[in-house]
Amino acid sequence: MDTFPLSRAIEVDWLAASHIGPYVVAFKEHLTALRYAGSTIADYLADIKHFARWMHTRRLPLARIDEVSVAIFLDDHLPSCACIGHMRHSRTSHSSALGHLLVMLREHRAIAQPPVSTRPVDEELRRYDDYMHHVRGLAPKTRTMALRVVGRMLTERFEGDAIVIASITPEHVRRFFAEQAALHSKPAGAGAVVSSLRGYFRYRASLGDLVHGLIGALAYPANWALSSLPKKLTDEEVAQLVGSLNNPCRAMRRACAIVRCALDLGLRSIEVAQLSLDDIDWHAGTITLRHTKGRRVDILPLPIVTGEAIARYLELERPKTSNRAIFVRNVAPRDAPIGADLIRITIRQAYARAGLPYTRAHLLRHTMANRLLASGSSLKEVADVLRHRSLNTTMIYAKLDSRSLSAVAMPWPGSAS
């Protein structure tokens, strides 16, 4: 058991006599299992002690603790708190501590699970999400975007009333799309709104609703295919980026392995985040991708330089954890893999350290495709490595294939050739 200074011990004793008292040990065990530092556990205990004192003044029973009561404490009480003896921790500290408290209390069935909304719109969205997941097999990010767009449309049209699809007119759809399109600066963003709405109306058509007129009311904004060049790093910028990964810095070996996975294998951010220790065959020199955008299992050769970067991270920097993910958190909760957002942040920070004016992680995937073309690979080979389902997706890189383009270029008018 962790030992705390006397002032902390007094707080814990007071907490033991409160409504939350019977669960203090379980709360500490919950945080310890997530490998939080002793000082952080002590801070969180002080925070929930503060919350317990507030519960006492409000005569709030344990069973009434939920997200609403926590929000009232954080938003109304904390900014003007004048509690005697309270150690002033930040809102972030209190919010994190109380979030863990709710999780722990629900694990012990001391409080009710979060209420499920029974609004007709929310029930409809849950049914549609289930359809997208189990019937269409869409990725979580795609489903989240679609639910956000469809939810806005249904809420705007029905509020809390029952959903009657027949009452939606093409004019309603066109007006809603115009409002949503104004929020996007590029045609691709507005196109995602069209895709989300059409997908929902097709779902309703499968249920027998007459929605063909609603689908016809939506048209994709002009966005000429292959109209632009995919951005990429030059050879000099690649060397600059790779060279910056040797700087001594916190979590640098993890950053190096992440960048190499994106640059050498062309992996998407979510694919890097979901790599597992079981996915690498060190003897065969291969890596298996099990959570791809196309929902397929692909096996790629593991370049030596990439494997060495991953091995250095695993041997010298990766925290001890029971999680099988390759890339895990360096701070508590440590038994959790990092997400795609942290992959993108890591690559963005690598650009900044190298002095490069870029921010998009996908740029490394484009760079890898260009390097394959420059080395003599065909578009079909590039498509196989990038795991594109359709060769049309890979055609954008034809504009980067200078070797092939020079062979079909016509002489400039008036030139000697």
Q: Rounded to whole angstroms, how far apart are CA atoms 344 and 333? A: 20
For the question of residue 91 being annotated catalytic, the response is no
CA atoms within 13 A on the CB side of 366: 16
Looking at 53, 232, 365, 387, which residue is catalytic?
A: 365
For the question of residue 365 being annotated catalytic, the response is yes
Looking at 94, 318, 329, 388, which residue is catalytic?
A: 388
Residue that the structure tokens 């096996």 belong to: 299
SS (H, E, C) 26-49: HHHHHHHHCCCCHHHHHHHHHHHH
Neighbours of 367 (CB within 10 A): 23
Looking at 268, 318, 366, 387, which residue is catalytic?
A: 268
In 186-343 the beta strands, taken as DSSP E runs, fall at 280-281, 286-289, 298-301
CB 375 within 8 A of CB 243: no
For the question of residue 293 being annotated catalytic, the response is yes
Looking at 19, 89, 353, 362, which residue is catalytic?
A: 362
Token pair, residue 238, equals: 């690649």
For the question of residue 268 being annotated catalytic, the response is yes
* Residue 40 identity (one-letter amino acid): T
C-alpha closest to that of 73 among 117, 20, 7, 34:
20
Token pair, residue 289, equals: 């991708």
For the question of residue 388 being annotated catalytic, the response is yes
CB 269 within 8 A of CB 343: yes
DSSP-based three-state secondary structure for 72: helix
For the question of residue 387 being annotated catalytic, the response is no
DSSP-based three-state secondary structure for 3: coil
Residue 286: beta bridge partners? 281, 301
Looking at 119, 198, 293, 353, which residue is catalytic?
A: 293
Report the catalytic residues.
Answer: 268, 293, 362, 365, 388, 397
